[in-house]
Amino acid sequence: EDKVVQSPLSLVVHEGDTVTLNCSYEVTNFRSLLWYKQEKKAPTFLFMLTSSGIEKKSGRLSSILDKKELFSILNITATQTGDSAVYLCAVEANSGAGSYQLTFGKGTKLSVIP
């Protein structure tokens, strides 16, 4: 059974701190790993990673994938209160029925204190 494990499950930091969120996975027929940010509504897409060692960056957020060790990290530098959210890691895999469904971790709840 496909499995995605995120750590830590929750994290409280002060504004300006840098945080690293972890995601490890065990998946058959891996295709890609995705990061989403979920506030009270829809998970919003952050990154999609398919190749090892290539960092993706968007503003203060960056992410990298290690397909040999089966993990990814999401870094947020100079955190702001608006970064407070649940960060979801998901792995896309071929189910065999052609669906390429996502298997999610439980998420990391990040709280940024002013």
Beta carbon nearer to another protein, 14 or 42: 42
Closest approach, Cβ 8 to another protein, in A, equals 14
CB 43 to another protein: min, Å: 5
Beta strands in the chain (DSSP E): 3-7, 10-14, 19-26, 30-38, 43-49, 56-58, 61-66, 71-76, 85-93, 101-104, 108-113
Instruction: Say if residues 110 and 87 touch (Cβ distance below 8 Å).
Output: yes
| Pick 71 or 104: Cβ nearer another protein | 104
Q: Which residues bind another protein (CB under 8 A)?
A: 4, 31-32, 34, 36, 41-45, 48, 50, 88, 90, 92, 94-95, 97-107
Residue (17 or 71) nearer to another protein, CB = 71
Closest to another protein by CB, 10 or 18:
10
Residues 6+ apart with CB under 8 A from 71: 22, 23, 24, 25, 65
Look up residue 81 and give its amino acid. Answer: T
Least distance CB 95 / another protein (angstroms) = 6
